[in-house]
Amino acid sequence: MAEKKAVLTGVHFMSGDIACAEGALAAGCRFFAGYPITPATEIAEHMAARMPKVGGIYIQMEDEIASIAAVIGASYAGLKAMTATSGPGFSLMQENIGLAAMTEAPCVIVDVMRGGPSTGQPTLPGQQDVMQAKWGSHGDYEIIALAPSSVQEMFDLTIEAFNLAETYRVPTLVMADEVVAHMWERVVIPPAEEIKIVNRKRPNTPPEKYLPFMPDDSLVPPMACFGEGYRFHATGLTHDEHGYPRTQDSEAQTRLVQRLCDKIRKNADKIVRVEEAMLEDAEVVVVAYGIVARAALSAVRKAREQGIKAGLLRLITLWPFPEKHVAKAAEKAKAIIVPEMNCGQMVREVERAAKTTPAHHVLKLGEEPHTPMEILEAIRRHI
Amino acid sequence: MTEAVEHPFAKYLRAAMMPHIWCSGCGNGIILNAFVHALDELQFDLDKLVVVSGIGCIGRAAGYTNVDSFHTTHGRPIAFATGVKLAKPDLEVVVISGDGDLFAIGGNHFIHAARRNVGIKVICANNFNYGMTGGQVGPTTPLEALTTTTPYGNIEHPFNLVHLAAASGATYVARWTTLHVRMLTMSIKKLLQRKGFSFIEVVSPCPEIYGRHNKMRTGLEMMEWFRKVSVIANFSDPSKAEITPERIVVGEFVDIEKPTYEQLLYSKMAQIANEETE
């Protein structure tokens, strides 16, 4: 259950960025470190105003590298912590997202995607960071990434992101886009007692017996925090169950890195969420996420009106990739349409999962997301 | 048979992490020793201490200290420590790292943490080069010094770390060499007792890597250099506290009080919470 004082129960009209901040507060986030960047700045502004009222910490750091580092520090000190940024800042954060993955620091990173590469188009939407979300830091690791497609989901999925981060001790990314972040919509915030909150699993061993990186059956190690008497060590170096460096030990490297991947991969069925619409008999399946999925749903409905058996598979979880859902939808389909605000990123994963069913990417860069008509045309072209 | 007696400082160190990685003649052991002595003399509550380090030879100090400890990415220990300190202000958060980590890749974090007066404590082992990667030029390498990436002599002007710290707003600033063990230990005790952003630079010998290129092949030769040229000038102008082959100015330079970031933050939070309930 959420902490009552932090939950603004009721019906609101708010922007996606504000809904994201409110979701974080409802989830129990009590530490925010960030750096101004369009189109994510409003999350920081709202946090600056709201955090002190719920007894939480807001700090504007000197850059995004510092922001994510402070978030990891706060997480190890026991707080639920978050930062929010956009493409350029997301790039700067990558090294320490790897540190969070390696040291299994629960934390949430919001990337409000704008047009890139580089400074790109700061005020316009993009979906060009979705592969970076998975592969942005060096080395092998797994993260969880969610893609909200409405202001309500900016609230709901930010809570979900914290719950997943705490469950799996993994950096969890909310991959929003400029449209869902800046759009104003109706948001229903439920009573605190109806909001499901997950807190990190705590050790039940005494400090002298505590092994900070010894996983339980779920592959996730229970987490002690600084100042609790456990006196443990954590490092970005390859380490053993004690947290001690094992830089020359191939067995330790295999055991650790494999587990960091497996704790997400083997729990993927529990993590993955999608929304399906009219898929039962669909011959053309649109796979979409974020704001684009809303135009896609409209396109699928219009196609149905025209007698085309179209359906929508909306990816709520981007990573781990919902490959079972894509494979199932692809079985009966003749074609898959993947509209994205990029030059073709998630379409590669769709192709991999869909096996022999062809996947067609619909490109959109700059300006606005795809219109329903643009997606409908693609459906008609490939039926 | 005599019973084995535990070393009185064994509780401060992680035996499982030994042997350490430091070369013979390295000053890092002296710095760690002074730190542990300071903790012991203060009877410091080890459950309230977090040691954070970055990347570099001295970066391993966090792992060697038997308290809550974290070994961050290169350059980021101060930013990480800021998160810890603000989240749990009752903890003492000490950053122990090197000149390259704190002042090249991590320089931005240093000046901003000092400016904000976040109550973290920074101990810098200044060995004039990047030892762990084999001796490249760094932000404190003296002019004309030879390193693997300045084979014809260094043409970069080095930082004066105590001047930088003072100008950035640090409330306690000192510099010692590893020869000045008692003064260093006394300074670390002060560092642990101050509230605001505090900084000690420890000029430290790196005979194996830096000294080898600069005609000081042993730790003893480097310590002899420190002995010959060190001048104690307490509370002198840090802008004039030079480090040259002829003169190393050491001492305490700043010891002032001003509200820390976390004091201001938490009093603001309390004030806002009061207004909310009224």
Q: A243 pLDDT exceeds 90? A: yes
Average pLDDT over residues A176-200: 98
Measured between CB atoms, which of A30, A62, A70 is closest to B80?
A: A70
Average pLDDT over residues A108-124: 97
Residue A128 lies in a domain: yes
Chain A CA closest to residue B82: A70
- Which of residues A149, A167, A194 is at a domain's end? A194
HEC per residue, chain B: CCCCCCCCCHHHECHHHCCCCCCCCCCHHHHHHHHHHHHHHHCCCHHHEEEEECCCHHHHHHHHECCEEEECCCCCHHHHHHHHHHHCCCCEEEEEEEHHHHHHHCHHHHHHHHHHCCCCEEEEEECCEECCCCCEECCCCCCCCCECCECCCCCCCCCCHHHHHHHHCCCEEEEEECCCHHHHHHHHHHHHHCCCCEEEEEECCCHHHHHHHCCCCCHHHHHHHHHHHEEECCCCCHHHCCEECCEEEEEEEEECCCCCHHHHHHHHHHHHHHHHHC
**Confidence at A4, pLDDT banded by 50, 70, 90:** confident
List of chain A residues whose C-beta atoms are within 8 Å of the C-beta of residue B60? 245
Position B2 scores a pLDDT of 72
Measured between CB atoms, which of A73, A81, A235 is closest to B71?
A: A235
Average pLDDT over residues A208-233: 97
Contact B79 A95 (CB under 8 A): no
Domain identity same for A51 and A181: yes
Whole-angstrom distance, CA of residue B68 vs CA of residue A211: 13
Retrieve residue A186's tokens.
């109706």
Measured between CB atoms, which of A55, A69, A244 is closest to B83?
A: A69
Measured between CB atoms, which of A31, A61, A236 is closest to B87?
A: A31
Contact A57 B70 (CB under 8 A): no
Residue ranges of chain B whose pLDDT lies below 70? 1
Residues of the domain holding A355: 275-382
Residue A249 lies in a domain: no
Residue B173 lies in a domain: yes
**Torsional sign, CA A118, A173, A133, A136:** positive
List of chain B residues whose C-beta atoms are within 8 Å of the C-beta of residue A61? 79, 82, 112
Query: What one-character DSSP code corresponds to residue A361?
Result: E
Read off the CATH number of the domain in which B147 is found.
Answer: 3.40.50.970
Residue B107 lies in a domain: yes
Contact B83 A78 (CB under 8 A): no
List of chain B residues whose C-beta atoms are within 8 Å of the C-beta of residue A236? 71-73
Residue B239 lies in a domain: yes
Distance of CA A370 to the CA centre of its chain: 22
A116 membership: H or E segment, kind and range:
none
- Which of residues A194, A210, A227 is at a domain's end? A194
Amino acid present at B54: G
**Torsional sign, CA A157, A79, A244, A136:** positive
Position A328 scores a pLDDT of 98
Residues of the domain holding B198: 12-277
Q: Smallest CA–CA separation between B230 and chain A, in Å?
A: 36
Residue A213 lies in a domain: no
- Which of residues A194, A226, A261 is at a domain's end? A194
Residue B4 lies in a domain: no
Average pLDDT over residues A258-279: 98
Amino acid present at B119: G
Position B1 scores a pLDDT of 60
Q: Smallest CA–CA separation between B223 and chain A, in Å?
A: 31
Domain identity same for A176 and A303: no
Contact A66 B112 (CB under 8 A): yes
Contact B91 A227 (CB under 8 A): yes
Average pLDDT over residues A169-196: 98
Read off the CATH number of the domain in which A123 is found.
Answer: 3.40.50.970
List of chain B residues whose C-beta atoms are within 8 Å of the C-beta of residue A245? 60, 63, 71
Residue B191 lies in a domain: yes
Chain A CA closest to residue B83: A70
Query: In whole numbers, what is the pLDDT of chain A averaged over residues?
Result: 97
Contact A31 B83 (CB under 8 A): yes
Average pLDDT over residues A119-141: 97
Q: How many domains is chain B built from?
A: 1
B contact set with A (CB within 8 A): 14, 16-17, 46-48, 50, 52, 60, 62-63, 66-73, 75-76, 79-88, 90-91, 108-109, 112, 265, 268-269, 272-273, 276
Q: How many domains is chain A built from?
A: 2
Average pLDDT over residues A103-121: 98
Mutation site, B64, B86, B261, B267, interface A, largest A CB count within 10 A? B86
Whole-angstrom distance, CA of residue B186 vs CA of residue B182: 6
Position B277 scores a pLDDT of 74
Position B75 scores a pLDDT of 98
